[in-house]
Structure 1
Amino acid sequence: MAVYGYARVSTTDQDVTLQEVALRAAGCEVIRSEKRSGTSTEGRTELQTLMEFARKGDTIVVTRIDRLARSIADLASLVRDMEAKGVTLRATEQPIDTSTAAGRCFLQMLGVFAEFETNLRRERQMEGIAKAKAAGVYAGKGRPASISTERVRELRDRGLGPSAIAKELRISRMSVHRALNLKEA
């Protein structure tokens, strides 16, 4: 009966250290950590490894259930897989313990709120984009160009080829081609 920890943050500039400390304090013998979005279980190799490795009687511990999943469907699927294997899920910051009826109930309620929070965030993002588009400040085509197309064109007109232009401006040849195509299009 082993106790395993799972820590996750969404972006590479975030840190899992606080989660790992809490998981060690909760008695986790092995901790799997990753920096991946929680909106899907796809591509989360550390979670998949943990799910494959856990055996009957083992416990998987997270600090909060949103570290495990952000949708009811993913959460339900993970919990179902754990229950089928005889693995218990616990959270250090929430009263979740799937070995008890109350813990399973609370898990389902928190899962609903985690998905609700994700949907609210998505709605706010879409509202912000719509507002920015209405104000004419959102082009939807990424960041502004950092290469002067005029300078690229000037160098081309002086007889330099794409490789020489790229070397002169310290940019890639592809950037030269894009800049020329943008200006001529």
Structure 2
Amino acid sequence: MEYILQDIDIFDTTLADKLNNAMMTTMDAFEQGNEYNLTVSFHESLLDDYSRIYMLNIPDIDAKNNNTMEDKIHNLLSFQIQKIENIITQNGINLMAVGIQGETLEVLNMIKIQINKVESEPKKSKKNPLKVTMIIPSLTYLDDLAETAIEIILNECVIPQIVLESLGKGNDVNRKSHGESN
């Protein structure tokens, strides 16, 4: 199930309440006893608005952990995902993974919320299931970071040479790269 909330952004502290209102007409689509994953997406460029982040007053935030811009962003995203998770679980939906992520959406003032059924075999014991919470301020940054790391690994790693040698081609490739012939 996907919900698109228009004319709202990640700074709106009533986001969870607005999602709750949107969900009221679709609650029968969620089956009792099933497990779901939650993903909340917002436009990542909003986190470049330092004046709004700096001025934001988030309820129940410990002041000593709210000093740096990174702290403030983390506190904002933590607050939003916790409030949304609470609203959804109060509606009887069992969440196994929850996440909030910045990405490039169509417009700035939009929140996209996806609640997807987990397709897996039932667990024998559901007393204390493990729940995963992810906070990713920028998917673009994470993608760029992963791409850079992979490039470094592939360019500087000896694994490709080892693979070539195991195929019996390592020495041929080495000779050719040093100007030698067979």
- Same fold by TM-score greater than 0.5: no
Q: Taking structure 2 as the reference length, what is the TM-score of the superposition?
A: 0.26
Q: Taking structure 1 as the reference length, what is the TM-score of the superposition?
A: 0.25
Larger Rg: 1
Q: Going by fraction, where is helix more abundant, 1 or 2?
A: 1
Q: Going by fraction, where is strand more abundant, 1 or 2?
A: 2
> RCO greater where, 1 or 2, for CA within 8 Å and sep 6 or more?
2
